[in-house]
A and B are shown apart, each in its own frame.
Chain A
């Protein structure tokens, strides 16, 4: 949660600005800003993808206007209001740049021809010497489906490299795999507009108020109808502030609470036995597995008072319709998949999944987080949520693309593993699009070393991100409203982004850049696109018959219906807002339940590092802040990170608000301002993660990953906080509790390229 501005500028005695500070100028000084046209589109930021109009005059985007779209009803958060200011931002990259003097040189202006020729000649040379897999693509999920699809196809068809992955790995991969394992389909099973139908909401590790402000209006609609709200979170977030029950959990121990709630639901006889018998498999194992989780045991593990767990279980269990919403708090974990499965078990035991307004709902973080993982840019996936390991699905896509199936690469490294392959010299060159690894990946120092070993490192972005600063070639891309296409929001609703302005300077749409590279690599025949629409039509057909079937979703239908929910298998199909109403996605139509044992986070506090450090968002910034830190209004509200610390802990250490303190973990240390507030557990520290360089919390976080999906554990590691006057002890191993290390964890990095997966692991991905 943020603070008043006097925290950042101690001399100011008020919190109020007539005008936004800093750039870009809002344009009011020059003109009255009367729009000629209103272009209907959506916000470029989080997974909610609010509808908005852009005000356009003389081909320039001059402002924003509310758009009454079904899921945001005209509302916008502050990020959405000022999103348009990116369009003519002075920091925009307007021409390609090359580091001609090698790694120590400066980035200099270049022509597109020079940049493209350089990239392609280097790639050909590298691939001839080291094999096709030595060139990798690291993509992102804040792009349209069309761009994401082209990225996947580019890596596999033009580069013929197995190493393609995307930043959704760091975001949603836990819940994606949990849903695929439990339900057979990875999608939130119900639309946001269903939330008011519920009688009890359980928010687990999701700060809806700050990360998805627009979802709050649906939460409040439910509250107005009398629904109860339970929040499980180590911090008293604005959502928890108004909840009926707040369960302040130790970071990384949510499974204990959820399992204990399920046990209490069983004890109280609130289980829907008929539903479990008819619609699920594996209930008996789950029932046995939660038996040891008495409220007292859960209190011991999680720090939540036992009474509250029991009260929460009854409040949840007695509600006729109940909805669990979960987010990054439980997913950014070395057992993220299990935590999501524990939530699913609880909802299934109450017979909720498939009911209008009931069940579980993952709150996807990135703009196109849902679409980005379905259209084939994930290491193990092909378009339509097809799996690269399944022979029939491989064959289908190879035939569709017109390449021999043996030419289609196999699964490559996941995003965090690519860093290690770069460090080991297996990946010689990497194309990074729509990602800012230098802020987003844990252990920034290691990431920097790895990226510096990659030559050439090519970054496509529209602002010079912390990662682009290290690049050998920087290619200017476009912001969202300079291109058209579709995205899939957190409900699975496919929506349409429209073009409102032309790309500035020499910048080009990302898909044109990649198409051009493919042509120069001699694979142009597979990328004959002249417009985003052609890519969409190809993607629709590629996904046909897959789990995420987009075939029936035409751009016209999106406009007519206010978005279309996949699966939509035929042109006359209206789409599927609610899933699992009658059957689940597995062949037998039943949901699978998995017994979930308690697993601690990989690193827990010890004598030298007595706190748990967790990280998260503030409402003013989006992901690595490369966009929002450049927008004056947003940046002035939260220009730098801070560490939240409880008054009891602060008093013990003699720390006061506004004081600059040092936070240290076994990896690194950083200095930042302390905010002493009672809205956090006394054993927990919180730092927002949107900042770069010396302000990046990911200097400190633990690079341990979930063994299956490789999502890093951003939300829990051991740390200590000290006054600057304390002697600067070097960050080092010290006394921490290591539960789980790269050495003793199964299938952790370093990743063996070409490894044969063991059957259970393979099953977890094959759906």
Chain B
């Protein structure tokens, strides 16, 4: 049976934070949100990026590797769980080890917290809350074959940090290399066949990107 997992496509994210709101509805974290949405640089663009746990597969999840008390357990289907409250000693090794900046340390609870892919829902064949509600399906849950049949973009699950690469259960979606539309050609055509003669075209307003 194909493995269902999460696909993250930041180009579709509209920054609505429905995932954050819905994550709080999940039984496994009871009112706390384990997904983050951030503006990449609001001073430049409205682009936003959702961050979820990538559930590293190979090498074994760095957060679990550095845990001195083996509090971070991994299920047989590759879901990296949050720290087991009975084991976690609050050392925060995992927070520093994660290459994606996902685990958060809850000072009050003295416990590392992170996404466990809504294990209570996915184990019952429901989608994780974030992908369930995502209005644009920037967060999408399903298997790889379904994804590439339905959607544009390249799904990749290998992230390189310098010389080291991490293969993750969760996929990031990159845009198509060749845009569908040759916009430059369309604008050139508009200029060439425009009603006015060539050479005396007013310049585009400088601020238009």
Contacts and interface: CB of A to CB of B under 8 A. Distances in A.
B158 to A, nearest CB: 23
B97 interface: no
Summarize B's interface: helix, strand, loop or mixed.
loop
A305 B21 contact: no
A633 B137 CA distance: 21
Contact of B33 (A18, A66, A224): A18
Contacts of A539: none
A465 B20 CA distance: 27
A238 B42 contact: no
A223 interface: yes
Contact of A305 (B38, B42, B132, B205): B205
Given A213-B135, A220-B137, A78 B36 contact: no
A533 interface: no
Contact of B104 (A16, A305, A646): A16
Contacts of A32: 27, 30
B46 A78 contact: no
Size bin of chain A's contact surface: 35 or more
Nearest to A76: B133
A315 interface: yes
Contacts of A306: 190, 194, 201-202
Interface in B117-131: 126-127
Interface string A682-713: 10000000000000000000000000000000
Contacts, number: 191
Interface in B1-54: 11-18, 20-22, 24-25, 27, 30-33, 36-39, 42-48
Contact of B25 (A7, A64, A236, A648): A64
A66 B135 CA distance: 12
A18 B106 contact: yes
B32 A19 contact: yes
A37 interface: no
Contacts of A28: 30-31
A295 B126 CA distance: 52
B136 A209 contact: yes
B198 interface: no
Contacts of B45: 236, 241, 678-679
B31 A29 contact: yes
Contacts of B181: 228, 244, 315
Contact of A314 (B134, B186, B209): B186
A368 interface: no
B77 interface: no
A289 B126 CA distance: 56
A79 B21 CA distance: 9
A81 B136 contact: no
Interface in B63-93: none
Given A29-B31, A220-B12, A678-B209, A307 B204 contact: yes
Contact of B39 (A3, A210, A217): A3
Contacts of A311: 183, 186-187, 189-190
A296 B191 CA distance: 11
A78 B132 contact: no
Contacts of A245: 183
A313 to B, nearest CB: 9
Given A1-B15, A213-B16, A305-B205, A295 B195 contact: yes
A292 to B, nearest CB: 12
A17 to B, nearest CB: 7
A82 to B, nearest CB: 5
A20 interface: yes
B152 interface: yes
Contacts of B25: 63-64, 81
A491 B80 CA distance: 42
Contacts of A19: 24, 31-33
Interface string B153-183: 0000000000000000000000000001101
Contacts of A682: 207
A476 interface: no
B36 A16 contact: yes
A474 to B, nearest CB: 30
B139 to A, nearest CB: 10
B155 to A, nearest CB: 13
B43 A15 contact: no
B16 A210 contact: yes
A17 B36 CA distance: 9
A76 to B, nearest CB: 4
B96 to A, nearest CB: 16
Nearest first, the 7 closest Cβ-Cβ pairs linking A and B are: A213-B135, A28-B31, A310-B190, A209-B14, A238-B14, A81-B21, A78-B21
8 contacts: A7-B42, A16-B104, A20-B31, A220-B12, A241-B47, A294-B195, A305-B204, A306-B194
Given A19-B31, A78-B20, 4 more contacts: A28-B30, A81-B18, A209-B16, A238-B13
Interface of B: 11-18, 20-22, 24-25, 27, 30-33, 36-39, 42-48, 104, 106, 113, 126-127, 132-137, 150-152, 180-181, 183, 186-187, 189-191, 193-196, 201-202, 204-205, 207-209
Interface of A: 1-4, 7, 15-20, 26-29, 32-33, 63-64, 66, 74-78, 80-82, 209-210, 213-214, 216-217, 220, 223-224, 226, 228, 236-239, 241-242, 244-245, 248, 267, 294-296, 299, 303, 305-308, 310-311, 314-315, 619-620, 633-634, 637, 646, 648, 657, 675-679, 681-682
